[in-house]
């Protein structure tokens, strides 16, 4: 939602659901882990009654334990924390599960996959950043696809029930490659909001391209 029109945020979310979006991805920034500030729990909670699709919170927040309860209470059914931001990652993921939400772990483009191997049995989703976090409209970093391929192999080998989500630079020119590398969930920002034919066209086009390349 970083590239949405903030003056009509609730209306935009409703339009996205009508266009076929599967969920709303909230980038929550603290001005510390990343330079910007963004949506807080009160904003998210105010929009939750307007939609039926799930909300997920991507916490770009240093030591995010203080905000976990607020995000779940605001209506986020998945809460994502950065490996790079958590001193006690196991404990943080466990707390998300205790709150009744799906725990997810995020890694930045330069962070090795090995850094999260020990917590894969605690999560329902891994988010691979294909841009550096904190800003919308960045270019896709294709080198992260090797991490997704290896992660997909590990998931299959260990018979884990984990989704692979990718965030950053997802557009018609990149989504097929990301899908073929193992991603099965896609965070779309600029490509959605800047499509001159609107949300419904963007959603249908991206979904078709991803489905054709899914593994």
Q: What are phi and psi of 203, to 5 degrees?
A: -65, -45
Strand partners, 165: 127, 185
Catalytic positions:
27, 167
Among 1, 74, 2, 60, residue whose Cα is nearest residue 30:
60
Among 165, 184, 188, 140, residue whose Cα is nearest residue 3:
188
d(CA 110, CA 87): 18
Among 34, 58, 38, residue whose Cα is nearest residue 126:
58
Among 46, 49, 41, 39, residue whose Cα is nearest residue 68:
41
């Amino acid at each position: 939602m970083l590239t949405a029109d903030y003056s009509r945020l609730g209306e935009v979310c409703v339009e996205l659901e009508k266009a076929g979006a599967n969920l709303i991805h909230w980038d929550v920034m603290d001005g510390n882990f990343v330079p910007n500030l963004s949506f807080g729990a009160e904003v998210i909670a105010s929009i939750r009654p307007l939609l039926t699709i799930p909300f997920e919170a991507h916490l770009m927040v240093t030591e995010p334990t203080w905000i976990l309860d607020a995000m779940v209470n605001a209506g986020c059914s998945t809460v994502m924390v950065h490996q790079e931001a958590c001193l006690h990652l196991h404990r943080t993921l466990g707390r998300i599960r205790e709150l009744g939400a799906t725990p997810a772990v995020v890694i930045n483009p330069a962070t090795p996959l090995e850094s999260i191997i020990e917590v894969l049995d605690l999560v329902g989703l891994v988010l691979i950043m294909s841009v550096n976090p904190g800003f919308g409209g960045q270019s896709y970093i294709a080198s992260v696809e090797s991490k997704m391929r290896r992660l997909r192999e590990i998931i299959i080998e260990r018979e884990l029930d984990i989704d692979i989500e990718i965030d950053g630079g997802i557009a018609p020119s990149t989504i097929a490659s990301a899908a073929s590398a193992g991603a099965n969930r896609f965070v779309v920002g600029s490509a959605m909001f800047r499509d001159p034919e609107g949300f419904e066209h963007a959603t249908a086009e991206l979904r078709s391209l991803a489905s054709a390349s899914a593994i």
